[in-house]
Amino acid sequence: MKENVKSEEAVKIKETKSEDVKTDEAKTANTSKCECCCHKKKERSEKEYKDLIHRLNRIEGQIRGIKRMVEEDAYCPDILVQVSAANAALNSFNKVLLANHIRTCVAEDIREGKDETVDELVKTLQKLMK
C-alpha cells in the first residue's frame, strides 16, 4: 500500500513540475512581449541601493522563516502572524521605492516635459491598489 502512495506522490510531483514548466514558458513568452518599462534602468545612490537590498534581505529571511514554520508543522495562527509581518515589510518596501521613484524619475521627467511619465505613474498606482 505504501508503494501505491509513493507512486501517486511521484505522479503528482511530475504533474506539478510539468505545470511549472508551462508557467515558466508562459512567463518567458510574456516577457518578450512586455510593453512596460522593462527596458528602462535606474541609477540609484549607494545609500538607496543598500537600504533597498537590506529590506529585501530581511523580507527574504522572513519568508524562509515562514517556510520553516510550515515544514515544522507550526500552529496556523503563528504562521499567519508571520505572513502578515512579511506582507507589511513588502508594503513598506513598496512605499519607499515609490517615494524614491516620484522624487527622482517622475520629478525629473516632468521637468523635462515628459508628460507620459504621469500616465505611467497612474498605471503603476492602479496596479498597486488592486
CA distances, 90 to each of 57, 87, 94 (Å): 11, 5, 6
| 23 and 52 share one domain | no
pLDDT at 92: 96
| 82 and 116 share one domain | yes
Cα(84)–Cα(7) distance, integer angstroms: 36
Query: Predicted confidence band at 120 (pLDDT cuts at 50, 70, 90)?
Result: very high
pLDDT at 34: 39
- The count of domains in the chain is 2
Please give the residue range of the domain that contains residue 115: 44-128
Q: In this structure, what are the phi and psi dihedrals at residue 45, rounded to the nearest 5 degrees?
A: -65, 160
Query: Predicted confidence band at 40 (pLDDT cuts at 50, 70, 90)?
Result: confident
Cα(96)–Cα(117) distance, integer angstroms: 19
| 58 and 15 share one domain | no
CATH number for the domain spanning 50: value is: 1.20.58.1000
Cα(46)–Cα(8) distance, integer angstroms: 51
Task: Please report the DSSP string for 53-90 in residue order.
Answer: HHHHHHHHHHHHHHHHHHHTT--HHHHHHHHHHHHHHH
| 11 and 52 share one domain | no
* Structural domain contains residue 39: no
Secondary element (H or E) of residue 14: helix 2-32
| 21 and 51 share one domain | no
